[in-house]
Amino acid sequence: MHSPTLDVMTPAERRTGAVLAAIFGLRMLGLFLVLPVFTVFAGRLPGGDDLVLVGLALGAYGLTQAFLQIPFGMASDRWGRKPVIVAGLLLFAAGSFLAAAAPNIQVMIVARVLQGAGAISAAVTALAADLTREQHRTKVMAMIGASIGLVFATSLVIAPPLAAALGLSGLFVLIGALALGAIALLFLAVPPAPTFARQAQPPFSVVLFDGKLARLNFGVFALHLMQTALWVVIPPALITAGLAAGEHWKIYLPAVLLSFAVMVPAIIAAERKGRMRPVYVTAVALLIVVQAGLAAFGAGLWSTGLWLLLFFVAFNILEALQPSLISRLAPPAAKGAALGIYNTTQSLGLFLGGALGGWLAKHFGPAAVHLVAAGIGIIWLLLAVRMQAPQPRT
């Protein structure tokens, strides 16, 4: 039997989870404010009539994330989580301010690359894992995941009027300011992380070539490839269907909010009732169904709303489960490195989703984007069915 005190999060764990979720959310709000409007507004920049360049600018953020997540994660293991998080947020802010001043799509791509240099995801999730007990880690990761979903839903409502009022340049200035606000929150409200100085760090190769971790790394790559590719084709499709860019939130917002109602019981079933594997596999299978459905039935207004609802259900579940599983499977003194690898593959998915999605949409049409995403999802499903839930540590 579990002790009642072990099954309840302490006030410190709840506060830490909430604050780290807020920090993650502020940074992600900066990213998500761009997604619903970037394809439309970037097209007005010189060179923005090339859909491949627009897709590259959308996904370029993930390119430097891919190169720097592992070094940032390993640095956080060695020098501490907070200094690494601050450095990353400063780089992200600098990229945002450069994007605000971008005179053409080429400079916008450079700015998005600099934004991506703020590769703090591994350090933030490692800090969350450091400050919470294992039996509550999925809850904290779900809090972070929920914050991502909430700020995404918020961005869908406020991004179009903000972009209309401030322009793309003003939007990026606001994004840079949010990153600086996240630094203040980090120092004011997050306790210091415990150190693992007495534990020998395992060789990097042990973490890199671990089969169980690799399966999850491929999963997050596939998940974020699908997500970014989706935002290359969905906004133009909705405009073609007769919904103005400023009204896209009427489709996005209900889908995101309703998905939370399904995500919460799924997370509870996975964590408390020992249903981690079936919940995980079902979420992956649902992503394949969504991509196949979009390819087969197109992007009408009502059908898009339904497919996006199903997509966000699966996306939010997997965003909570996967980093929690990584933190449980990784050696305690190498969580930063393991989460760095995890976030590197996530960033590769972000980059490739934008670049590949733009190329496929330009040359073969939106259906090809969804079919390729479904094929990648099938590979993921074949790996997911072999997953085993980690045993609790003492």
How many domains is the chain built from?
1
- Residue 203 belongs to a domain: no
The answer as to whether 51 is a domain residue is yes
Nearest to 267 by CA among 259, 256, 275: 275
Specify if 182 maps to a domain: yes
Q: How much is the pLDDT for 196?
A: 54
pLDDT at 261: 84
Q: What is the rounded distance in angstroms from the CA atom of residue 269 to the CA atom of residue 275?
A: 6
Q: CB burial class (10 A; 0-12, 13-18, 19+) of residue 234? A: buried
Give the mean model confidence (pLDDT) for residues 231-251: 81
Other CB atoms within 10 Å distance of the CB of residue 191 = 12
- pTM of the predicted structure, to 2 decimals: 0.73
Range in 170-179, 197-206, 219-228 the model is least confident about: 197-206
Q: Find the mean pLDDT for residues 170-187.
A: 88
For residues 184 and 388, the model is more confident at: 184
To the nearest 10°, the Cα dihedral for 147, 194, 85, 184?
70
**Residue with structure tokens 């980059």?**
351
- 202 in the Ramachandran plot: left (φ > 0), alpha (ψ -120 to 50) or beta? beta
Could you tell me which residues come within 8 angstroms of residue 51 by beta carbon, excluding any fewer than 6 positions away?
Answer: 232, 358, 361, 362
The rounded mean pLDDT for the chain is: 81
| Residue in the structure block whose two tokens are 């996967």 | 322
Tens-place pLDDT, residues 56-65: 887 787 778 7
Residue 213 lies in a domain: no
Question: For position 93, what pLDDT does the model report?
Answer: 92
Predicted local confidence at residue 129, as pLDDT: 77
390 located within any domain: no
Top-confidence range, 194-203, 271-280, 310-319: 310-319
Give a yes or no: residue 180 inside a domain: yes
**What pLDDT does residue 351 have?**
79
CA 43, CA 336: separation in Å to the nearest integer? 38
One-letter identity of residue 211 = G
Asked if 255 and 305 touch (Cβ cutoff 8 Å), the reply is yes
Question: Domain range holding 371?
Answer: 12-195+222-384
pLDDT digits (tens, 9 = 90+) for 276-319: 888 899 999 999 999 999 998 866 778 888 898 999 899 888 88
- The 10s digit of each residue's pLDDT in 6-33 is 567 777 777 877 888 888 777 777 677 8
User: What CATH number is attached to the domain comprising 63?
Assistant: 1.20.1250.20
Q: What is the mean pLDDT of residues 188-194?
A: 74
Among candidate residues 235, 215, 257, 248, the one with its CA nearest the CA of residue 390: 215
- Tell me whether residue 209 is in a domain: no
DSSP sequence for 108-144:
HHHHHHHHHT---HHHHHHHHHHTS-GGGHHHHHHHH
* H-helix segments, the chain: 11-32, 35-42, 51-79, 81-100, 105-116, 121-130, 137-189, 204-208, 211-240, 249-272, 276-297, 301-329, 335-364, 366-384
- Residue 212 within any structural domain of the chain: no
The structure tokens 């406020």 sit at: 158
The whole-number pLDDT of residue 6 equals 52
